[in-house]
Amino acid sequence: MPGLGWVLKKSLYKDELEPKWPTPEKLWDWDMWMRMPEQRKGRECIIPDVSRSYHFGIIGLNMNGYFHEVYFKKHKFNTVPNVQLKNVGSLKKDAYEVEIQNLLKEAEVLDHTKNPCEDSFLPDSEGKIYVMFIKMESETDTSTWTELAKCLHVWDLDVRGYHRGLWRLFRKRNHVLVVAVPISPYSVRKPANVTPIHLEPPPKEEGAPVEQM
């Protein structure tokens, strides 16, 4: 789950964020405030494939034991110190766009007639690049991604970690790109004969209890 631990320049905090940091009476969760468009200004964080931070708090304003058990207890994180970062320049905006376009050119389109939640949806290959297209009519149209995220066992409570409507994942040792159609500019890569995958949450059973978070 990207979003709760950042490294940033001291100048960014001191010159831009600190002067308008929410005062206590505003009751803002600081992480939610940081993700607002007014603070983001179209900027993105670089997210490592394996997190370097670990969530350990079980009791808090937005946390309880059940929530921690489901979303955080089994969360893998990097414990190797002194990691040598390589090819960091490729993550700068212009270079990154070139990389994304190259990946999309090479990517094989997955069979969209299959259920993406089935293990067989992704071939038993290794080292391949695949792409799938999901329906997302607007920033608030999150139902398909949420259901897909549940299947993939990644963060599913809201939409995070995407770049211009595209997620990059690694599954079965393969590179998998997920493109939101039509909100992503990368939607132009969708073949005309491919219908974006649309998933809806399963209907709640009548009289079933509602989970309280």
One-character DSSP codes across 146-197: HHHHHHHTS--SS--S-BTTEEEEEETTEEEEEEEEETSGGGGGS-TTPPPB
Q: What is the DSSP string of 69-133?
A: HHHTTT------SS-----GGGGSHHHHHHHHHHHHHHPEEP-TTS-TTSGGGS-S-SS-EEEEE
Q: CA neighbours within 13 Å on the CB side: how many for 18?
A: 8
Q: CA–CA separation, 158 vs 140, rounded Å? A: 10
Indicate the DSSP class of residue 21: P
pLDDT of 208 reads 53
Q: CA–CA separation, 162 vs 33, rounded Å? A: 18
pLDDT of 34 reads 87
List, in order, residues 6 or more apart from 139 with CB less than 8 Å away: 159, 183
Report strand pairing: 108-109 vs 129-136. Answer: parallel
- Cα→Cα distances 14→41, 45, 46, Å: 17, 18, 21
Using one digit for the tens of pLDDT, what is the confidence trace for 129-146? Answer: 999 999 999 989 999 999
Residue 136: strand, helix, or coil: strand
Token pair, residue 143, equals 């139902």
Using one digit for the tens of pLDDT, what is the confidence trace for 29-85? Answer: 888 888 888 998 988 888 887 888 777 778 777 788 888 888 888 878 888 888 888
The answer to whether 186 and 142 have CB atoms below 8 angstroms apart is: no
If one compares 195 and 62, the residue with the highest pLDDT of the two is 195
Using one digit for the tens of pLDDT, what is the confidence trace for 77-107? Answer: 888 888 888 888 999 999 999 999 999 999 9
pLDDT of 158 reads 85
Q: CA–CA separation, 71 vs 21, rounded Å? A: 28
pTM given for the model = 0.85
